Amino acid sequence: MLSLPIDIQPKDAVKEIKEINDKITKGLEFLSNLKDEDVDIGTAPKETVYTEDKLKLYHYLPTQDDLLGTPLLIVYALVNRYLVADLQEDRSLVRNLVNEGLDTYLIEWGDPAPADKYLTVDDYVNGYVDNCVDFLRERHGVDKINVLGICQGGTLATCYAALHPDKVANLVLTVTPIDFHPGWDKQNPEVGLLFNWGKGVDVELMVDAYGNVPADVLNFTFLLVKPFALNFGKYHDMLDILDNEKAMMNFLRMEKWLFDGPDAAGEAYREFVRDFMRDNQLVKNEKMIGDRLVDLGNLTMPILNCYATADHLVPPHCSKILGEKAGTDDYTEMAIPSGHIGIYVGGKSQKMLAPGVAKWLRERA
Amino acid sequence: MADWTEQAEQMLKTWTEAQKNVWDSWQDLAGRAVGAQPKPQAFAMNPMEWFQQSMSLWTDPAGVARDAGRQVFGSQFSMMRNLELLTRAWQLVAPKLDAGRDWRSPLSGFTTNWFQQLTGASGDMFEMTKDTQALWQSYLSEWGPLLKPWLSSALEATGSGHLGEMMLGGSTGLGRLLTMGQDDFQTGPFVGFAEIPSIGVTREHQAKILRAFDAFVDLRKVMLEFNRMTTGALSKAVEAVMEALAEKSKQGEKIRSVRDLNRLWLESADKVFTEMYASEEYLKAQRELSAAGMSYKLMQQTVVEMVLKGLNLPTRSELDDAYKTLYELRKEVKALKKAMHEQTKPAMEAKAETKPTAQNAIKQVETQKTAKKAPVRKKPAARVEPAV
């Protein structure tokens, strides 16, 4: 006869509940005294050196003597905020880059308002990014600068470098999609799921209906990839850390970053989903930006391509394809054992990503 | 050894005791909280809502801490609920499994009911899609007082079976609008609606409302299909847990904590859902749901624009036109500035050769940095315009 394999004794269950409630009591004391501004993210010291419309170009204040002469510009994605690159003091890509002696700049796109709904990928790449690059070339008196792209920002940086190779000394990409058709992995269907969904979305209708695509819609899509783990599981796990203020603050910072994203400018979103995700034009060398073709063969500068080995949003092969397509003779890959977000906030990658990038750039200075 | 019925009953007793313990602890916790609180009797009505209201009062109203607080209660609540679901499911499955009989069909019925109760998505929804009157009521409830005159005219026409009359724009509801008898609009915030007839409640206006209604019906239908798939996946997830439990039972393994059981449930559910997400059937349902949702939103906008025009207020289409002009002008100005900059650049560079410039100053700062231990960078001039 089958016996019930759930052997939770009443006294054990009550004990377990009591333990959880003790944690809740402590956790609530902590939470109830917390203001939203106490959950501080993006704290690396910086100054705004250039603004255009809603864009701000930040310069992170150097901490080292032996600064690399060529500045590094970080191009962030158009979804979510750059703050994941500076989540907290001991988990911060930008702090690590600065501490490695890189003169680091970062573009914050700002929050698109309804009046920004007509911004296109051309406006971002040949407008904003190009203006920031020109500003830095002038500011530092150099012909070329180093560019580092983050996720979708890496795709934009790739397009920029292919269109303006004369202005980019070295191109560094992190978890950057180049091939947007990952195929289905039946054993691990969550791998590349977002791109596979993206192919089927009627983005024309979506942008017509929304104008700018709300951040909540984008967040909801991200959460659906692992609905139970991301909507329930992590909050169940949160019960374990409720009485640990440091761990709770880390948890809250990540929550704040996750759910405090900007809307996406409508036309740029439409173009990105249609041309990049659905038609996969970039990897086919078919993508036009403005009136110019983005030819990956024009990527003749040295390229460092960093990918996360357990990335289910941008599977490694979607990034690594660049090695076959780029025109450069100096192409390097760096594998970081983490997931898509872990590459920026994971403990291990703090010791790998920025030091690896700095070393690679110094070798080419 | 107790048989499966006794074991399951024992588990349910455990669940009930644990549940009571949760409530008691929460009430105790609430008693210790300081400051304003929602009414205590609300606790008995709906503990979850009561605690969520409490969290809003105890914590920063706009903050991430409040959301985390809500999740705290939600997590504990859902853990207990999952324990009850899985125990009851086992109670149903075990004797059939033991006797070598089909257990999946009765389990499917049980879990479908369970989730429908939880989500509020019931069979009534399916019935409603077949009943125009009920759908109209539901549609009307979404629009509130804004379109009441037009919608009530349509409602009355369909209610009395005069769909054709409604489609032609005539009905008693419309007449009431024109006379403005004891209508809510006489005292409500939309008293300006008295002007509406002057723009003409025509066949075209009715058609817009009807098209929005069609889109509303389409959305309900695809939502129903989507919910059916989701509920089916949840049932499969319970099945997967039952299989895992049966396997554990055969191996003589035990789950000894609420959280371990919960983990098993979450992992099984994620696996089943992720597999479903990769299926063609789901992708089709997802595409249809998204398209229907967007279409309805566009139709809503059309109807709202009709109302706004009637009130001589700017519509989204008009704003979009203005945004587009603004966007194009902004681009033109930037291009002109850039062109001007290119023209004046040679002259500025010639000057720079004879005179110290801001650029040179920056370079000097760069050089000085290498000589200092903790350099304080002299702040170069910030720019607030495009590189022109």
Task: Give catalytic residue positions of A.
Answer: 151
Task: Say if residues B60 and A34 touch (Cβ distance below 8 Å).
Answer: yes
Q: Lowest-confidence range among B207-211, B234-238, B314-318, B368-372?
A: B368-372
C-alpha distances (whole Å) from B52 to each of A110, B226, B275 are: 32, 29, 33
At residue B247 the predicted structure's pLDDT band, cuts being 50, 70 and 90, is: confident
Give CA–CA dist A18/A35, Å, rounded: 28
Write out pLDDT tens, residues B280-331: 888 888 888 889 989 999 998 998 898 888 888 999 999 999 999 999 999 9
User: Which pLDDT score, from 0 to 100, does residue B122 have?
Assistant: 46
pLDDT at A3 over 80: no
pLDDT at B272 over 60: yes
Indicate whether B255 and B124 sit together in one domain. yes
pLDDT at B78 over 80: no
User: Which pLDDT score, from 0 to 100, does residue B273 have?
Assistant: 84
Give CA–CA dist B181/B152, Å, rounded: 14
Helix (H) or strand (E) holding A171: strand A168-174
Give CA–CA dist B163/B145, Å, rounded: 22
User: Which pLDDT score, from 0 to 100, does residue B217 have?
Assistant: 82
pLDDT at A142 over 80: yes
User: Which pLDDT score, from 0 to 100, does residue A287 have?
Assistant: 98
Indicate whether B329 and B345 sit together in one domain. yes
Q: Between these two residues, B364 and B382, which has the higher pLDDT value?
A: B382
User: Where is mean pLDDT largest: B43-52, B260-269, B281-290?
Assistant: B281-290
Q: Smallest Cβ distance to B258: which of A13, A51, A196? A: A13
User: Where is mean pLDDT largest: B58-67, B154-163, B194-203, B218-227?
Assistant: B218-227
Contact between B256 and A12 using a beta-carbon 8 Å cutoff: yes
Indicate whether B70 and B125 sit together in one domain. no
User: Where is mean pLDDT largest: A30-44, A103-117, B98-112, B185-199?
Assistant: A103-117
Indicate whether B193 and B267 sit together in one domain. yes
Q: Smallest Cβ distance to B4: which of A2, A53, A200? A: A2
At residue B356 the predicted structure's pLDDT band, cuts being 50, 70 and 90, is: very low
* Both tokens assigned to B313: 């207020």
Contact between A31 and B79 using a beta-carbon 8 Å cutoff: no
Task: Say if residues A138 and A57 touch (Cβ distance below 8 Å).
Answer: no
User: Which pLDDT score, from 0 to 100, does residue A264 have?
Assistant: 95
Question: Mean pLDDT for chain A?
Answer: 90
Give me the mean pLDDT over the B350-364 stretch: 49
User: Which pLDDT score, from 0 to 100, does residue B137 have?
Assistant: 64
pLDDT at B4 over 90: no
At residue A249 the predicted structure's pLDDT band, cuts being 50, 70 and 90, is: confident
Q: Between these two residues, B242 and A293, which has the higher pLDDT value?
A: A293
Domain of A189, CATH number, reads 3.40.50.1820
Burial B286-303 (b: 16+ CB within 10 A, else e): bbbbbbbbbbbbbbbbbb
Q: Smallest Cβ distance to B59: which of A31, A49, A201? A: A31
User: Which pLDDT score, from 0 to 100, does residue B234 have?
Assistant: 81
User: Which pLDDT score, from 0 to 100, does residue B156 have?
Assistant: 52
Q: Between these two residues, B262 and B17, which has the higher pLDDT value?
A: B262
Interface test with B, best of A11, A22, A32, A193 (most B CBs within 10 A): A32
* Both tokens assigned to A146: 């180093």
C-alpha distances (whole Å) from B185 to each of B97, B120, B178 are: 63, 33, 11
Q: Smallest Cβ distance to B369: which of A21, A65, A190? A: A65
Q: Lowest-confidence range among A14-23, A90-99, B88-97, B189-198?
A: B189-198
pLDDT at B96 over 70: yes
Domain membership flag for residue B375: no
Indicate whether B169 and B96 sit together in one domain. no
Domain membership flag for residue B191: yes
Residues of A in contact with B75 (CB under 8 A): 232, 235-236, 238-239
pLDDT at B11 over 70: no
Neighbours of B100 (CB within 10 A): 7
B355 touches chain A (CB under 8 A): no
User: Which pLDDT score, from 0 to 100, does residue B186 have?
Assistant: 42
Alpha helices in chain B, H assignment, sequence order: 4-32, 41-45, 47-58, 64-98, 104-119, 123-129, 132-143, 148-159, 163-167, 172-179, 196-199, 203-251, 258-277, 280-310, 316-354, 358-369
Residues 283-322 (B) with a CB less than 8 A from some CB of A: 283, 286-287, 290-291, 294-295, 297-298, 301, 316, 319-320
Indicate whether B54 and B135 sit together in one domain. no
**Position of tokens 């009355």?**
B156
pLDDT at A256 over 70: yes
Environment class of A263 (CB within 10 Å of its CB; exposed 0-12, middle 13-18, buried 19+): buried
pLDDT at B28 over 80: no
Helix (H) or strand (E) holding A56: strand A55-60
User: Which pLDDT score, from 0 to 100, does residue B286 have?
Assistant: 85
Residue A270 distance to chain B (closest CA, Å) = 14
Domain membership flag for residue B378: no
Residues spanned by the domain of A51: 41-205+265-363
Task: Say if residues B215 and B296 touch (Cβ distance below 8 Å).
Answer: yes
Residue A321 distance to chain B (closest CA, Å) = 23
User: Which pLDDT score, from 0 to 100, does residue B143 have?
Assistant: 60
Write out pLDDT tens, residues A80-96: 899 999 999 999 999 99
3-state secondary structure of A172: strand
High-pLDDT (> 90) share of chain B, %: 7
Give me the mean pLDDT over the B138-152 stretch: 59
User: Which pLDDT score, from 0 to 100, does residue B64 have?
Assistant: 62
pLDDT at B197 over 50: no
User: Which pLDDT score, from 0 to 100, does residue A91 have?
Assistant: 94
B250 touches chain A (CB under 8 A): yes
Indicate whether B90 and B190 sit together in one domain. no
Neighbours of B327 (CB within 10 A): 18
pLDDT at B257 over 90: no
Contact between A16 and B259 using a beta-carbon 8 Å cutoff: yes
Last residue of a domain, one of B57, B81, B101: B101
User: Which pLDDT score, from 0 to 100, does residue A222 have?
Assistant: 74
Residues of A in contact with B319 (CB under 8 A): 114
Residue B142 distance to chain A (closest CA, Å) = 18
pLDDT at B35 over 50: no
Q: Lowest-confidence range among A296-300, B109-113, B118-122?
A: B118-122
Question: Mean pLDDT for chain B?
Answer: 66
B336 touches chain A (CB under 8 A): no
Domain membership flag for residue B376: no
Write out pLDDT tens, residues A28-62: 777 777 777 888 899 999 999 999 999 999 999 99
pLDDT at A2 over 70: no
Residues spanned by the domain of B21: 1-101
Q: Smallest Cβ distance to B64: which of A5, A189, A255? A: A255
Q: Between these two residues, B353 and B179, which has the higher pLDDT value?
A: B353
**Position of tokens 């023209």?**
B343
User: Which pLDDT score, from 0 to 100, does residue A164 have?
Assistant: 98
pLDDT at B237 over 50: yes
High-pLDDT (> 70) share of chain A, %: 96
Residues of A in contact with B334 (CB under 8 A): 127
Indicate whether B92 and B160 sit together in one domain. no
- Name the domain count of chain A: 1
User: Which pLDDT score, from 0 to 100, does residue B152 have?
Assistant: 53
User: Which pLDDT score, from 0 to 100, does residue B387 have?
Assistant: 37
Indicate whether B220 and B115 sit together in one domain. yes
> Which chain A residue's Cα is nearest to B6?
A4
Give me the mean pLDDT over the A260-273 stretch: 94
Give me the mean pLDDT over the B212-220 stretch: 83
Helix (H) or strand (E) holding A262: none
Indicate whether B237 and B124 sit together in one domain. yes
Q: Between these two residues, B358 and A144, which has the higher pLDDT value?
A: A144
User: Which pLDDT score, from 0 to 100, does residue A63 have?
Assistant: 96
User: Which pLDDT score, from 0 to 100, does residue B189 have?
Assistant: 40
Contact between A209 and B294 using a beta-carbon 8 Å cutoff: yes
pLDDT at B22 over 70: no
B16 touches chain A (CB under 8 A): no
Domain membership flag for residue A236: no
- Name the domain count of chain B: 3
B60 touches chain A (CB under 8 A): yes
B330 touches chain A (CB under 8 A): yes
User: Which pLDDT score, from 0 to 100, does residue A304 have?
Assistant: 98
Q: What is the count of residue pairs from A and B with beta carbons less than 8 Å apart? A: 278
Length of chain A in residues, anyone? 365
Domain membership flag for residue B366: no
Residues of B in contact with A227 (CB under 8 A): 269-270, 273
Give CA–CA dist B343/B124, Å, rounded: 72
Domain membership flag for residue A246: no
Closest CA to A320 of A337, A303, A302: A303
Give me the mean pLDDT over the A225-248 stretch: 76
B62 touches chain A (CB under 8 A): yes
Q: Between these two residues, B295 and A234, which has the higher pLDDT value?
A: B295
Q: Between these two residues, B325 and B187, which has the higher pLDDT value?
A: B325
Would you report the helix, strand and coil content of chain A in percent, each value rounded to 5? 50, 15, 35
User: Which pLDDT score, from 0 to 100, does residue B366 have?
Assistant: 41
Contact between A5 and B33 using a beta-carbon 8 Å cutoff: no
Residues of A in contact with B255 (CB under 8 A): 5-8
Domain membership flag for residue B387: no
Task: Say if residues B309 and B315 touch (Cβ distance below 8 Å).
Answer: yes
User: Which pLDDT score, from 0 to 100, does residue B354 have?
Assistant: 53
Indicate whether B127 and B256 sit together in one domain. yes
pLDDT at B206 over 80: no
User: Which pLDDT score, from 0 to 100, does residue B74 have?
Assistant: 62
Give CA–CA dist A191/A242, Å, rounded: 31
* Both tokens assigned to A311: 């990335």
At residue B118 the predicted structure's pLDDT band, cuts being 50, 70 and 90, is: low
Q: Lowest-confidence range among A315-319, B59-63, B336-340?
A: B59-63
Residue A347 distance to chain B (closest CA, Å) = 23
Task: Say if residues B209 and B143 touch (Cβ distance below 8 Å).
Answer: no
Neighbours of A235 (CB within 10 A): 21
Task: Say if residues A292 and A163 touch (Cβ distance below 8 Å).
Answer: yes
Last residue of a domain, one of B69, B101, B133: B101
DSSP string for A304-333 = EEEEETT-SSS-HHHHHTHHHH---S-EEE
Give CA–CA dist B140/B151, Å, rounded: 7
At residue B3 the predicted structure's pLDDT band, cuts being 50, 70 and 90, is: low
DSSP A272: I
Q: Smallest Cβ distance to A189: which of B29, B275, B386? A: B275
Environment class of B172 (CB within 10 Å of its CB; exposed 0-12, middle 13-18, buried 19+): middle
User: Which pLDDT score, from 0 to 100, does residue A115 have?
Assistant: 93
pLDDT at A289 over 70: yes
Using alpha carbons only, what angle is made at residue A350 by residues A347 and A352, rounded to the nearest 5 degrees? 115
User: Which pLDDT score, from 0 to 100, does residue B376 have?
Assistant: 36
Interface test with B, best of A8, A11, A41, A104 (most B CBs within 10 A): A8
At residue B369 the predicted structure's pLDDT band, cuts being 50, 70 and 90, is: very low
User: Which pLDDT score, from 0 to 100, does residue B329 have?
Assistant: 96
Indicate whether B166 and B283 sit together in one domain. yes
Domain membership flag for residue A223: no
pLDDT at B164 over 50: no
